[in-house]
Amino acid sequence: DASDIEKGTYPHYMLKEIDEQPLVMRKIVQNYQDGEGELEIDSDIVKAMKDADRIYVIAAGTSYHAGLVGKQFIEKLAKIPVEVHISSEFGYNMPLLSEKPLFIFISQSGETADSRQVLVQVKEMGYKALTITNVPGSTLSREADYTLLLHAGPEIAVASTKAYTAQLAVLAILAEVTARGIGHEVDFDLVQELGIVATAMEALCDDKEEFESIAREYLTVTRNAFFIGRGIDFYVGLEGALKLKEISYIQAEGFAGGELKHGTIALIEEGTPVIALATQDFVNLSIRGNVKEVAARGANPCIISMSGLETDEDRFVIPEVHSLLTPLISVIPLQLISYYAALHRDCDVDKPRNLAKSVTVE
Ligand code: AGP
């Protein structure tokens, strides 16, 4: 309950929760380590993953965006095919299911009605379900066969921040442990890489003035804003856009860089803010090409790149982390930019209009 949790010196829960992310990373690693310091997941869950010929991830909002990144983790490391679905649509557009599906529900609250409806439906069909949630004993946790906890601590602000990065960390651990269980080689040390992520998160949280000034420069007067990226940067852009729209009421959308020319670029006007993420080496040139295209049409581009891939034109450079784990840190500038944009526009950051923290109606 919000009244039981202190904001301390923070003006808003959202800012406090953004700042908690490095600590949450470390807690997650601790909670998923065995006595020898190796990452470990309940053997029944690993078995359910190994037995599945296809994984169906079901979620809403920010948790859906975490699922899109989680698909990359599971497919790249554990090499099991994954489909990611919006829970409210799944019932009407049920895909043809594989022979041995495993369902993964991602839900911070564990109470989202749209997701629960799918859980009830697939349980009736006799399938196994795993819930990844922040709330032990929540409905989705109780009704699924297995649960993985986020260990993020209560999230009070309507805009989800630390739960998203916690979801990504737990999905990465699930993918890595499953990969090892199957016998696929994982050529990096995830414990160490998540430690590097936590340190990078700290550096970003210490740079708040910079994000406040980016928000002031790009988002004070605009009525819309676009986020572009390629590969996993595209999925982080979707999350950045959701964050910005839900708390600042600026109409924001995330687009795949390559898709701009197929229509979206028509929306670019003089001064339109375009926040571009460039954290992936293999698409670095192409996303920068997209930035040139929108800039030539008057856009005001703000490139956020990763150390090692930066150029002089970039507005902010995030510290380098493992290429698969960049969403865990590239989202933090977007969370903070959204926070300050909402603040500058006098919006109610923690309780945006028309929204509830957990959506328990269909
Ligand atoms: C995120 O900032 C939103 N408030 C919202 O999209 C949320 O992620 C969604 O309603 C799903 O909630 P859940 O994770 O508790 O199921």
Digit-coded pLDDT (tens) for 50-75: 999 999 999 999 999 999 999 999 99
Atom number, ligand 1, closest to the C-alpha of residue 246: 2
Atom number, ligand 1, closest to the C-alpha of residue 355: 4
| DSSP output for 191-206 | HHHHHHHHHHHHHHHT
pLDDT at 354: 87
pLDDT at 92: 84
pLDDT at 156: 95
pLDDT at 3: 55
Task: Report the distance separating Cα 157 and Cα 348, nearest Å.
Answer: 10
Q: Is any atom of ligand 1 closer than 6 Å to the C-beta of 17?
A: no
Supply the residue whose CA is at minimum distance from atom 10 of ligand 1: 61
Which residues are CB-contacts of 152 (< 8 A; sequence separation ≥ 6)? 20, 24, 27, 28, 108, 134, 162, 163, 166
pLDDT at 64: 98
Q: Is any atom of ligand 1 closer than 6 Å to the C-beta of 157?
A: no
CB atoms within 10 A of CB 208: 15
Q: Where are the alpha helices (DSSP H) in the chain?
A: 13-19, 21-31, 43-51, 61-73, 87-90, 113-124, 139-143, 162-182, 190-205, 208-219, 232-248, 284-296, 326-344
pLDDT at 2: 54
Task: Report the distance separating Cα 245 and Cα 352, nearest Å.
Answer: 10
Q: How far is the CA of 244 from the centre of ligand 1 (A)?
A: 14
Q: How far is the CA of 55 from the centre of ligand 1 (A)?
A: 21
Active-site residue set? 357
Whether this prediction's pTM lies above 0.90 is answered by: yes
Q: Which residue ranges of the chain lie beneath pLDDT 70?
A: 1-4
The answer to whether 282 and 323 have CB atoms below 8 angstroms apart is: no
Ligand 1 pocket test: pick from 244, 359, 360, 362 the residue with the most ligand atoms within 8 Å of its Cβ: 359
The answer to whether 349 and 339 have CB atoms below 8 angstroms apart is: yes
Atom number, ligand 1, closest to the C-alpha of residue 160: 2
Q: Is 332 helix (H, G, I), strand (E, B) or coil?
A: helix
Which residues are CB-contacts of 38 (< 8 A; sequence separation ≥ 6)? 191
Tokens describing residue 70: 């989680």
Q: What is the ipTM of this complex?
A: 0.98
Q: Is 282 helix (H, G, I), strand (E, B) or coil?
A: helix
CB atoms within 10 A of CB 96: 4
Q: How far is the CA of 154 from the centre of ligand 1 (A)?
A: 14
How much is the CA Rg of the chain, to the nearest whole Å? 20
Q: Is any atom of ligand 1 closer than 6 Å to the C-beta of 159?
A: yes
Task: Report the distance separating Cα 14 and Cα 7, nearest Å.
Answer: 9
Measured in whole angstroms, the distance separating CA 66 from the mean position of its chain's CA atoms is 4
pLDDT per residue as tens digits for the range 304-333 = 999 999 999 999 999 999 999 999 999 999
pLDDT at 358: 83
Q: Is any atom of ligand 1 closer than 6 Å to the C-beta of 113?
A: no
Q: Is any atom of ligand 1 closer than 6 Å to the C-beta of 338?
A: no
